[in-house]
Structure 1
Amino acid sequence: MWNLPTLPTDNLYKLMTFAGMALMLAAFYILYSGVNRDFRDTGPYAYARQVQLQSRLEDTGLKPKPLPDRINESPYLRYEEYRDLIRSLPVEHPQAAQLRDLNEEVLMLGVELKLSEEAMEGRHTSFLCLAALGFLFLTLGAFRWYFGYQRYQDVIAYANALEATAKARGLGLSSQSINPHQPSPADNAG
């Protein structure tokens, strides 16, 4: 058959370990990349604009439905309700154009808010998947790296250190301090 060279598995395990760390860092970056948003892109701003529109509608004598405590309803339903109320105003009413513009702005804010909430849910899902995969790679890579390779390399390094210490004692180097300016006893013997 073919004689394939052996793979340097320690490097593969190191790569797997570092790839796991990179995946976990990427997961946290994805999660927190959308956190620093401008106030105009948040739910409280959209709700405040909706309260403002409702207040202006009430000032003109219209009776809109009360707002919920949170904006979790469809922005299109509230837009249609306010649009119908604004259309019931006389054509020559001085605030009709402003109310229409504000109603359209509130609709756009509501739609953008729904989209950003869906994007945040996608970020959470991506975070969980990447973090789990990164933790798996990190754990398996580190486990295989240490128990499959590094532990044996540590034993070999320890044995080499013991052998070098024994050779040094045989030359009489271990009991003397080494001074780089004085010749060693091995140099005087020859």
Structure 2
Amino acid sequence: MSSSNITSPPTDSTQWSTVSLPVAQFIEQAIQEASDELRAVSLDIHSHPELGWEEHHAHDVLTKFMEKKNFQVERHAYGMDTAWKAIYEVGQGGRTIGFNSEMDALMGIGHACGHNLIAISGCAAAIGVAAALKKYNIAGKIVLLGTPAEEGGGGKTELLALGAYKGMDACLM
């Protein structure tokens, strides 16, 4: 189906398979509006590189940022000091879409793998989709997971074992 055939946004969660061009453009606009703040968060994390399981600064910066964006934030999620979860929900039912935000750096070289960028990419995607859920009154939930220790620490594996991904229809990074 070409985008020229899509003329109206979905009105309920059963229509997610045909997300319209206006919804996609609105998501892009919401992310663009947060661009300067996202860049500042990225640079802050980049200037404070932390190894896996020690991402305390990144944890605090990212959780404060997501609270500012009206997400319900759980710090130290799943009993892990630097894991966190941010949730935004509209209505009841609908799909649950997850995103990951990696935060750790590499020993001796900092954020060479760009986890400061992966962290804000997850935030950006969550913010954009949440804005669309709200604007178009689409029932659904966004779950953003702050995923520690990805450089050899198996943070996502630990989160998976602890049930962090249960109930998600999809999780993206």
- Give the TM-score, by structure 2 length: 0.24
Q: Which has the higher contact order (CA 8 A, sep 6+)?
A: 1
Higher helix share: 1
Higher strand share: 2
Question: If you compute each CA radius of gyration, which structure gives the higher value, 1 or 2?
Answer: 1
- Give the TM-score, by structure 1 length: 0.23
